[in-house]
Structure 1
Amino acid sequence: MAQPGIGKKTHTKVEEQSSLKGTLASVFLLGFFLIATWVGVYLLFVNRF
C-alpha cells in the first residue's frame, strides 16, 4: 500500500532567534520578589517568637 508524503520534500522555515533578555530580567525580578517575601515572613516569625 502506498503511503502519501514519502517522496515529498518539505521545507521548514527557520526563524531568527529572538533575544531573551526581557525574559531573564522578568525571572530575576520575580525571584527577588519571592526571596524578599520569604525573608520578610521569616523575620516576622523570628520577631514574634
Structure 2
Amino acid sequence: MAKAELKTKQKTVVEDRSSLKGTLASVFLLGAFIIVTWVTVYYLFVERF
C-alpha cells in the first residue's frame, strides 16, 4: 500500500502576547490565604493550652 504523505510548508507563528501579571497576583493571593489560614489554625491550637 502506498503511504499518503502530507507536505505542507506552513510555519506556525506563536505570538507571545500573554501577560502573566494576573497569574502572579492570583498566586500571591492564594499564598497569602494559605499563610493566614495556617497562622490562624496555629494560634487557635496554641490558645487551647
Work out whether the TM-score is over 0.5.
Answer: yes
Provide structure 2 residue ranges, at least 5 long, that are not aligned to the other structure. none
| Residues paired across the two proteins, number | 48
Provide structure 1 residue ranges, at least 5 long, that are not aligned to the other structure. none
Seq. identity, %: 62
What residue in structure 2 maps to residue 29 of structure 1? Answer: 29
Runs of 4+ in structure 1 displaced over 3 angstroms?
none
> How far apart are residue 46 of structure 1 and its match?
0.5
Write out per-residue CA displacement over residues 13-48 of structure 1, whole angstroms, 9 at most, x where no aligned residue: 221331111110111011001100001000100100
Cα RMSD (Å)? 1.4
